[in-house]
Every structure is written in C-alpha cells, then in structure tokens.
Amino acid sequence: MHTAPLAILGLVYVSVVTGMTLQRRAVDFFDPAQGGGSMFDNATYGGEPLNVIISGLSSPDVLTDGGVLNYAKVIGFSQECLGFHLGAPQTANLGDGNGSRNQTVEFRQDFGNAIFGSCFESLLGGNHFRIFRQNGPSANSGALFLAASKEKDASTNHDLVGDGYNIGRNELVAAAVGTKSHGGVTYNTVATNITGLMPVGSDGVNHGIAVDGIVTLLTVTVQ
C-alpha cells in the first residue's frame, strides 16, 4: 500500500517546445496539490472526491477517449442516456498547468445493457463517474482522475446515497479488478489503495457526505 502522496516516477522524457520545457514522465500520476490543484472537483455545493485514478502507466490505448469508453463498458458502464447530459459539467484542477477544466466525459452504470442501460441509471439511480485527464504542460502524466459516486433515483434529483462517494469508488473498483474482456479487447486491472492524497471527513465535500481519504489507483493492461 502506498502511504505517501507522491507519484511513482519512472523514465523521464523531456521535450522542448518553443523554448519551454514540457514535462512528460512515465508515471502513475502527479499529485495535483503539488501544482496548485486539488483531489476534489468543483461541484454545486462543494467538491466531489477524485477517488479513483487510472494510472498513466496503464496501456496507452486505455487512456484515450475511445479506449476508456471500451474499458468503461467492460466494467459495467456506458455513455449517458442517449448521449444527453443533464446539468452543467463539473470542473477540476489537476495541477498540470491547465487550470480548472471541464470533465472529459461521464459514464453511468448500464446494468448489462450498453445501449439503454444508462437510461435506467438516470431514472432508478446507481453508480456513475466523471473523468478528468491530467495532460497539462507542467504535469503531463496522461492519468485519468475519476470522481465516482452512487446516487438515488431521479425523483430525489439524483442526491447521493449515504456514504455515496466511498460506495461508488468501492463498487467501481470491485467491478474492474481482474481480467475481463469487451469489444475484442482483454484487460487486466490491478488496484492499489493510496492514503494521504485527500483529507478524511466532510469539510467542503459536496452534499456534506464524508469521505474516508482513500484513493484507489487502477493500473490497466491490455492483454
């Protein structure tokens, strides 16, 4: 188990672009706080925890838009119902020099139906997650930061269930770990829990729901 908030560094790649140094390292992720960012995104009534990270050391194809869509489907999630997103997108600052940016995409639990299943989640509630990509000029890990949570049905305006952030993370990780296939691609996922990246408790957290301070790092390898 990792106990420090520092990312694991590997080989270093440096490129010079118009006289500026672009940081690109083979690394799990960079701690957003080191670049003035946060492990919480910006939501309506506080921040939502970025409680899962898909490592920058995962297979490169997994970290692309199309690759993470296929991976989402293998772990039981799909695009939002008929491609529609309700509400404003949330933003996050990952400390990579990009400042606060909109979420890349949002996926919802599909209950085994990749076409219409996410519509059931929108109506009946379930798990969902937002993705933010760390790819700015000062900390370009390529890692995907996920804000996972479990919500109630539409009649409650999608309020979260009690302990919804920890539950959302745990259910996503449980669905991901191991060897699974979708769309002709087989993935192996290894999970590692990290402490020290985010505080414990409910101070400043959206909906006032406490978090346990654990971030789970997923390393996804295409077989």
Q: Which of 14-28, 103-117, 174-188 has the highest mean pLDDT?
A: 174-188
Residue 219 CB partners (closer than 8 Å, separation 6+)? 28, 55, 57, 58, 189, 190, 192
Q: Measured between alpha carbons, how far apart are the two ends of the chain, in Å?
A: 24
Report the share of the chain in percent with pLDDT over 70.
77
- Predicted local distance difference test score (pLDDT) of residue 81: 72
127-136 pLDDT, tens per residue? Answer: 899 999 999 9
